[in-house]
Amino acid sequence: MKLHTLSVSAIAASIKKGEITAEAVMTAHLDRISKYDGNINAFITVSEKAIEEAREVDSARKSGKTLGRLAGVPVAVKDMLCTEGIKTTAASKILANFIPPYSATVVERLKKEGAIVIGKANCDEFAMGSSNETSAFGNVKNPWNTKYVPGGSSGGSAAAVSGQMAAAAIGTDTGGSIRQPANFCGIVGIKPTYGRVSRFGIVAFASSLDQAGPMAKNVKDCALVLESISGFDEKDSTSAQNQVPNWSEKTSSNVKGLKIGLPKEYFSGKMDADVKARVEETIAKLKSAGAIIVDIELPSTPHCIGVYYLVCASEASSNLARYDGIRYGYRYGEGSERLSLEELYSETRGRGFGSEVKRRIMIGTYALSSGYYDAYYLKACQVRRMIREEFSEAFSKCDVILSPVTTSPAFKIGERIEDPLTMYLNDIFTTSANLAGVPGMSVPVGFSKEGLPIGVQLMGRHFDEQTLFNVGQCIEENVKTSRELPDVIQ
C-alpha cells in the first residue's frame, strides 16, 4: 500500500482501526518531500515536530482515547497562517525569521481534530500573485510539468497535494488563490463563504476578501477538512455564527432537477480550446445526470478585475503599514544610529518587500489618498455592491453557477511575470466570488493536449457549500479525468 496516495478519510479511518500507524503515514509523506521538493519547492518550512506528533496520535489510539476526524492526516498549511513555534514568513523577506507565539484558529482546529501540520507551504509574497513566482523563497513548480506554474497564490499548497507530499492543504483565497492553483494542479479546492472560516491568525492581505479553505484530492476530503476548520470564532469579528453542517456525510451526487446557471459573460470572451471543450463536456454530463441548464447574466463581470484590484490594493496598503521594522520582522541597518526614523521605514520597507507587493501598496495608497478616494476606492465599493446584488438575482434563477476557472491551463514559468496586466487578467473568472462573498470551488474535469490539468468553477449561494459539494461529487463520478495524481514527478 502506497500510503502517500491515500485520501484524508482513508488515512483517518485506517489509523483509527489500527490498520496503519500515523507515524508510517507521516514518514511516507516526509519521504516524498525529501525526494521531490528540492525540485518542486512547495514548502518553505518542513515541521521538525511532525513525526513526534504522529507518534502521539498512535499512543492516543493505543490507550483507547477518542481520535478526531483528521487523526494522523498530514496537512500542509500555507505560510500565511500563524503556527506557534514554526516560522511564518508570508513568503516575504520582511518576515523571513518570524516565529509566532500563537497559532491561527484554523491551525488550532486542525490540531483539535488530530491533523498534523507537516510543513508551511510556499506562496506568492503576502498572497499577492497568480503564479507563485513572487515568493522571496523562490517559485513553486507544477508537479504535472515542472516547466509550468502551479498557480497562485496558494501554489505551494496545491503542489504539495498534487505531488502527494501532503494528504490535504490549507490555502487562502482573496481573488481566486485556492481555486486557480487547484485548477492548475488537478485537485479540488474550495473558498467557503466569507465568514465561514475564522481569519484570526492569518496574515492579512485584503481583510474584506481573504478567506481560508481546504485543498485535497477529492470532493469529500475537502468537505471533511472544511467541517473541521469552520465555525464561529469570537476572536474574528467577521466570523459568522451559522451552524456548520456535516457536509461530508450529506454529500450526494444526485443533481436531478438542480438548476445550473451559465453566465453568458464568462463564455463570451477568448478561451483556450481545451478549456472550452472540457467545460462543455462537463455541462453535458451534468445535463445527462438530470441537472437543468439555464442561461443567466452577470452584467458587471467586465468590471470585476478593476474593482477587485482597487479594493484589495487599498486594503493591502492599510494592512501592510504595520511592517515598519520597529516591532517585529526584518529591519534594515539594525544597530546603526545614522538612520533617521523616516530612513529606517523607507529602507526597511523598500528592501523587505518584493516588487509586486510594493506595486500593490502604491496603487492602494494612491486610491486612498485625499482627492482620489471618492473617484477610486469609494466608486469600487459601490460597484462591488452591484456585483453582490447581481449574484443574488442570478441565484433566484439557479442553484449553482458553473464557469471555467481560468481562460487557459497553466502557463510556463516566466511567461507572464513581467506583464502585470496579463497576470491580473488571469483572475477574471474568480474575483467575483470574493467580491460577492459567495463560496466557490474548483473541480478537475480533464487535461489539455499538453497533459496539463483543467477544472471547472462552481459558485453557490451564501453558506450553501453543500450544493457545491453535491455538484462536485457528481462531476467527480461522471467526468473521468483519465489520469491519477503524479506518483513520480519529472
Distance CA 87, CA 96 (A): 8
Q: Torsions phi, psi of 433, nearest 5?
A: -65, -35
3-state secondary structure the chain: CCHHHCCHHHHHHHHHHCCCCHHHHHHHHHHHHHHHHHHHCCEEEECCCHHHHHHHHHHHHHCCCCCCCCCCCEEEEECCECECCECCCCCCHHHCCCCCCCCCHHHHHHHHCCCEEEEEECCCHHHCCCCCCCCCCCCCCECCECCECCCCCCHHHHHHHHCCCCCEEEEEECCCCCHHHHHHHCCEEEECCCCCECCCCECCCCCCCCEEEEEECCHHHHHHHHHHHECCCCCCCCCCCCCCCCHHHHCCCCCCCCEEEEEHHHHCCCCCHHHHHHHHHHHHHHHHCCCEEEEECCCCHHHHHHHHHHHHHHHHHHHHHHCCCCCCCCCCCCCCCCCCHHHHHHHHHHHHCCHHHHHHHHHHHHHHCCCCCHHHHHHHHHHHHHHHHHHHHHCCCCCEEEEECCCCCCCECCCCCCCHHHHHHCCCCCHHHHHHCCCEEEEEEEECCCCCEEEEEEEECCCCHHHHHHHHHHHHHHCCCCCCCCCCCC
- The tally of CA atoms less than 13 A away on the side-chain side of residue 94 is 25
Q: Identify the active-site residue in 162, 177, 239, 317.
A: 177
Sheet holding 43-46, edge to edge: 43-46, 116-121, 74-78, 168-173, 211-216, 188-191, 440-447, 453-460, 400-404, 259-263, 292-296
Q: Identify the active-site residue in 153, 154, 198, 314.
A: 153
- Cα–Cα distance list, 411 to 41, 164, 428 (Å): 17, 22, 15
Q: Identify the active-site residue in 9, 14, 47, 78.
A: 78
Strand partners, 46: 119
Strands 292-296 and 211-216: unpaired
Q: Specify whether 9 is catalytic.
A: no
Q: Is the dihedral of CA 233, 220, 448, 457 positive or negative?
A: negative
Strands 440-447 and 453-460: antiparallel
Q: Specify whether 153 is catalytic.
A: yes
Would you please indicate which residues are annotated as catalytic (active-site) residues? 78, 153, 177
